[in-house]
Chain A
């Protein structure tokens, strides 16, 4: 998993080709709630991890999502 993988998933969900790693999903990229659900679900499916709903409000950018996804993947162990 790399940050670029996350940026690609975010870009696909939002229909944007260039997603800077620190762009705020809502404030900068105009994401709606359904987009945020789609982004989190896509990351879960792609990397076989689970993200708690209570962690979602703390995710605003691709970089933050990458850090959380990495932590969850480490906890899940090698596949």
Chain B
């Protein structure tokens, strides 16, 4: 099986050539499947999903997935030295590149003690070109379900290698029509980019730091605060995603030194799956996402709800204009240009709101106690990124910073500031109605 990479898959691969671009999912469990069951489950999943047998062929005529990898998916079983061991593992996984020419493009680490009934973590790392958030979570679900079902593990029906996203775009965004729209959109983006550079000056430049190290942090909003924030946001007919982005932007505007009084660029990551023709279900491993980039005026001093409203309408208007498809089409050219120029940062912050991850509370004797998600970030930006999930009534923020751009004190200050902003927004005006 072989096919050319789609636009977002290619953008992820070009980014990965600049610096490792990995997605990491962590499942926290009470109890742990035995090693042989995990190995059998991975073997079964590799037969089910073509992209788990993929490597990336780079030839003169472009990049292709070739699904002929026969080596097993790597599984490392590591001692769980303490409750924070998984964080250290994530920091390693984020900067450890895959050998894309050989594959496979997924690896798993299991952190557990000797007693399989004790807390443990599964750390799943994927090259971002083969999975978006939706299918990565589903893969973690399938892995845990298969590993807890015994040996041999049920792998499910083998799935076909689906076409790249752009072949499934709705009519106005594919073929010649799509290419024309993309050209017009890139001209429009060029103008916006010029205005951003003009207004931010040195703040949008960066010094390449190829050995930058990631640092991960987590914010856990308790159920009462989460519920109150959801109510306040819904009362205003705004999305949770926009409220989370507003908190991140406000915090960055206040605490990233170079951002003071400057406009700020941020990224959001629309899930294209339900908008494709035909829609692509989460069981199909693949990168069917897009990346949209926006600028806001200096956000540090805006009121939280005004900023939330601004973000919500900015993202909504662009989505309705079909820019989720146009951004995806433009992303390989943008990444190629930015990673070669080594001069301008793409943006400072990015947030992926994954919503409620499709995981069970219990897999056999293994209980799910938490879920975390992380994506590598870069010296060319974004250098402060967050993946946010809603599980068991709590909003969990998983944050990645890199030490070349955000020092530990600033990272902690920003993270605490996000928590304070969200708590104030959730509880303003008294108890939740």
Contacts and interface: CB of A to CB of B under 8 A. Distances in A.
A54 B275 contact: no
Contact of A32 (B230, B233, B237, B320): B320
B275 A26 contact: yes
A44 B237 CA distance: 12
A57 interface: yes
A41 interface: yes
A26 B274 contact: yes
Contacts of A40: 234
For the complex, would chain B's binding face be called helix, strand, loop or mixed by DSSP majority? helix
Contacts of B279: 27
10 contacts: A24-B274, A26-B274, A26-B275, A27-B274, A32-B319, A33-B241, A34-B237, A37-B239, A53-B226, A57-B356
Contacts of B240: 53
A31 B115 CA distance: 48
A54 B315 CA distance: 22
B219 interface: no
Interface residues of A, number: 16
B17 interface: no
Nearest to B241: A33
B235 A41 contact: yes
Contacts of A11: none
A34 B316 contact: yes
B273 to A, nearest CB: 9
B393 A54 contact: yes
Given A27-B274, A54-B356, A41 B234 contact: yes
Nearest to A42: B237
The 3 A-B residue pairs with the shortest CB-CB distance, nearest first, are A26-B274, A34-B316, A53-B230
Interface string A46-69: 000000011011000000000000
